[in-house]
């Protein structure tokens, strides 16, 4: 196998492992308190988001380690450190909420960002006309797509370094 073929295989395996770990860490490991508080202003939000990132990053390392060992992937400690650190930083940036909302606004995605929320021009409603809460929001979709983008960048760095 050529070096570029090996790196492509490493990228694919690492990305899959990180994607699986991201889903588990963002939904099962993150506590309700962290999810509710991480977007709050000040130290309350910063610390809640930081605690979420610790659990999320540990989850990614725990999932990635057996994948790398069982598949004998040629990854380095430096590559894993740089990849997971950059991923954690990008995740923190988005999960503080105001940053991602501003980016959505700047990109012309404000209406999509508010999709499924009470402030959307056409929020989901019950038969009685009151707001019907939903997990299927535009903010959630943009948040997850942002995270997946950075999982790909992290996987690329881990495969390359």
- Of the candidates 105, 113, 122, 109, the one whose C-alpha atom is nearest the C-alpha of residue 141 is 113
Question: Is 90 or 117 the better-scoring residue by pLDDT?
Answer: 90
DSSP designation for 29: I
pLDDT value of position 135? 64
pLDDT value of position 108? 96
pLDDT value of position 134? 66
pLDDT band at 88 (very low <50, low <70, confident <90, very high): very high
C-beta of residue 21 within 8 angstroms of C-beta of residue 64: yes
pTM over 0.85, yes/no: yes
Say if residue 125's pLDDT is above 90. no
d(CA 66, CA 118): 43
Say if residue 32's pLDDT is above 80. yes
DSSP, collapsed to helix, strand or coil, labels residue 131 as: strand
Cα within 13 Å of Cα(79), Cβ side: 19
pLDDT band at 85 (very low <50, low <70, confident <90, very high): very high
d(CA 157, CA 125): 44
Q: Where are the domains of the chain?
A: 3-160
pLDDT value of position 103? 96
């Amino acid at each position: 196998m050529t070096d570029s073929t090996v790196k492509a295989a490493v990228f694919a395996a690492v990305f899959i492992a990180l994607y699986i770990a991201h889903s588990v860490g963002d939904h099962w490991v993150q506590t309700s308190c962290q999810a509710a508080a991480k977007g709050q202003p000040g130290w309350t939000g910063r610390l809640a988001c930081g605690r979420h990132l610790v659990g999320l990053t540990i989850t990614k390392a725990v999932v990635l380690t057996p994948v790398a060992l069982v598949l004998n992937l040629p990854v380095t400690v430096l590559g894993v450190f740089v990849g997971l650190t950059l991923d954690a930083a990008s995740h923190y940036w988005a999960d503080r909420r105001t940053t991602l909302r501003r980016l959505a606004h700047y990109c012309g995605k404000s209406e999509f960002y508010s999709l499924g929320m009470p402030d959307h021009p056409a929020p989901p409603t019950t038969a009685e006309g009151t707001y019907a809460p939903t997990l299927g929001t535009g903010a959630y979709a943009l948040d997850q797509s942002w995270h997946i983008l950075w999982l790909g960048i992290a996987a690329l760095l881990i495969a390359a370094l």
